[in-house]
Chains A and B, each alone.
Chain A
Amino acid sequence: AQTVTQSQPEMSVQEAETVTLSCTYDTSESDYYLFWYKQPPSRQMILVIRQEAYKQQNATENRFSVNFQKAAKSFSLKISDSQLGDAAMYFCAYRSGNSGGSNYKLTFGKGTLLTVNP
């Protein structure tokens, strides 16, 4: 079974600074997807960024980028120019690339609570 580990229960960053959230995962599969979700106090789960394992290029979405190290099974999220609205719980998640059945479910880490200080 796949596991996802987020070793930082809490992180803080100054507004306009850069912060990196860590995520490691364990899998025997070669085809899979990795995600970062943001959960603000409103409770809504918001997809921040997605990485396909077969892609060597790291995904980027505006101020959000990932450092995907497939051999090391590491998937960190970098937030640049942090804003007050970035304050939230961030979850790393894994999804198998195999088709059918429970393969499409997401396996989540325990989350990292990010505080942005003005």
Chain B
Amino acid sequence: NAGVTQTPKFRILKIGQSMTLQCAQDMNHNYMYWYRQDPGMGLKLIYYSVGAGITDKGEVPNGYNVSRSTTEDFPLRLELAAPSQTSVYFCASSYMAEAFFGQGTRLTVV
């Protein structure tokens, strides 16, 4: 059982480039989330989804987009990368009260 799988684990982007962070879960969870973790700031919610075809903004959505075409996949798109998007990104899925996290993606924008 793979749980939540994120790719890539590390990435360096140049300012203005775009990329997609992939997230897949094999637990058939309806709820999925993207968080970013900045030093000393905890994790903040970027976007979430309550099921295929349904997404909504979290606390810090600017500069990001998401889609949810299937229950399993919830990719996060960064358009026109900026240094402020340097962070560690976590995808998570949940069922009832427990959330399951991927291993995170460390993204550096230079």
Contacts and interface: CB of A to CB of B under 8 A. Distances in A.
Q: Do A and B originate from a single complex?
A: yes
Interface of A: 4, 9, 33, 42-45, 47, 50, 52, 91, 95, 100-102, 104-106, 108-111
B interface, by DSSP: helix, strand, loop or mixed? strand
Interface in B15-68: 31, 33, 35, 40-45, 48, 50, 56, 58
B103 A43 contact: yes
Number of chain B interface residues as a range: 20 to 34
Contacts of B56: 101-102
B33 to A, nearest CB: 6
B104 A106 contact: no
Given A43-B104, A50-B98, A105 B42 contact: no
Contacts of B103: 42-44
A104 to B, nearest CB: 5
A4 B99 CA distance: 17
Interface in B51-99: 56, 58, 88, 90, 92, 94, 97-99
A102 B40 contact: no
Contact of B97 (A9, A33, A45): A33
Contacts of B92: 45, 106
25 contacts: A33-B97, A44-B103, A45-B101, A50-B97, A50-B98, A52-B97, A95-B99, A100-B50, A101-B50, A102-B45, A104-B31, A104-B94, A105-B33, A106-B33, A106-B35, A106-B92, A106-B99, A108-B42, A108-B43, A108-B44, A109-B42, A110-B40, A110-B41, A110-B42, A111-B42
